[in-house]
Amino acid sequence: MTQNNRRAEPADRNRSNKKRASGKINFKKLFNSLGAKKYLAAALLAIMLPLLLCFAIVHKKIPEKSVIVPTTQAPATTQASSTVISDEQLKQLNKDSTNKNSDNKSKDGENGEEQNDTVARRMAKIIEPTDEEYWYLSIIGVKYPLPEKYAPSLSPLIEGSSITVDERIVEKYRQMYDAAKKDDCILTPYSGYHSYSLQKSSYTRKVNFYINQGLAQEEAESKASLSVQPAGCSEHNAGLAVDIVSASEDFAKTKEYQWLSDHAQEYGFILRYPADKTKITGMDYEPWHWRYVGEEAAQKMKDKNECLEEYLGIV
């Protein structure tokens, strides 16, 4: 250590240093001086590291899909993405969106319409069929299973029919049925609501079919779920979809199918698994499967050629 350094020490420390032997004092001072700096640096690191970690965690974007909670209402605060709106904004926008849904026709300008559209999409990611406002936009599938005990209030699809659906879609289906009939098209329902146990046995039957063809369990399940979803993963378990058939083998070639393609959206129904969206829906083309999503969403999906996943922004 140099003389200059020694002069920089506090006066009392200098005095005590002078009492010691010159050689030893210099080494010990050097050691103490370096040691103190190390401790100081370590203490600073100990304080700064947790702060830096907190900062990194708070600013890290959570992928949108990680916040999808199909069977549980997720609190808005868990959505740490920078695009997520606050609770207050959400309440206000929901109010606006609800007003819009109630009259079913956009009276706002293009911006207002887009804003409400976005809110509906965000809401739909986390809602269940039990949601009072957005139940019709709920998404149900292998990734979005319903609770085993989910039980919608059911009504016969057509008076006297043994086929039942969620009572909230009955009126719209009947209106669609009557309108089609006036155009000489008979919409014959084949299937509506499926209970959890019925869906389970249908799926097991399909899996066994593929196992009998020589496929391994996992492969058989994967292939089966392209046409029959596991229990709780079908829109039929929610009672929000109707399979419509005809005497003809290929429903896609019937005039009823053509009529539905032209008019179903006017009654809030969509072709849920179109031929050109199989990679997105994860399901084979099902010309017979029609899902209720509400008139506004159905019309928009039709106009933009979007399937439900695309409309909800969860592709």
- Catalytic residue annotation: 286
* Nearer of residues 93 and 244 to Zn ion, judged by Cβ: 244
Instruction: State which residue, 120 or 176, has the beta carbon closest to Zn ion.
Output: 176
- Residue 235 contacts residue 291 (beta carbons within 8 Å): yes
Contact 203, 230 (CB under 8 A): yes
How many chain residues interact with Zn ion (CB under 5 A)?
A: 2
CA dist., res. 65 & res. 44, Å (int): 38
Of residues 159-218, which lie at the interface with Zn ion (CB under 5 A)? none
Task: Tell me how far, at minimum, the Cβ of 193 lies from Zn ion, in Å.
Answer: 11
Binding window for Zn ion (CB under 5 A); candidates: 96-104, 119-127, 239-247, 255-263 = 239-247
The arrangement of strands across the sheet holding 289-292 comes to: 188-191, 241-245, 289-292, 269-271
243 binds Zn ion (CB under 5 A): yes
Distance of CA 77 to the CA centre of its chain: 16
Name the minimum Å distance from CB 93 to Zn ion: 33
Q: Which residues of 195-228 are buried (b: 16+ CB within 10 A; e: fewer)?
A: ebeebbebbeebbeebeeeebeeeebbeebbeeb
Nearest Cα neighbor of 242 from 269, 214, 277 is: 269
Query: What is the per-residue DSSP string for 203-224?
Result: HHHHHHHHHHTT--HHHHHHHH
Residue that the structure tokens 């209402």 belong to:
73
**Cα first-last separation, the chain:** 68
Q: Which is nearer to Zn ion, 100 or 289 (CB)?
A: 289
CA distance 280 to 265: 20
Which parts of 264-293 interact with Zn ion (CB under 5 A)? 289
Residue nearest to Zn ion (CB): 289
Give CA–CA dist 55/18, Å, rounded: 48
Binding site for Zn ion (CB under 5 A): 243, 289
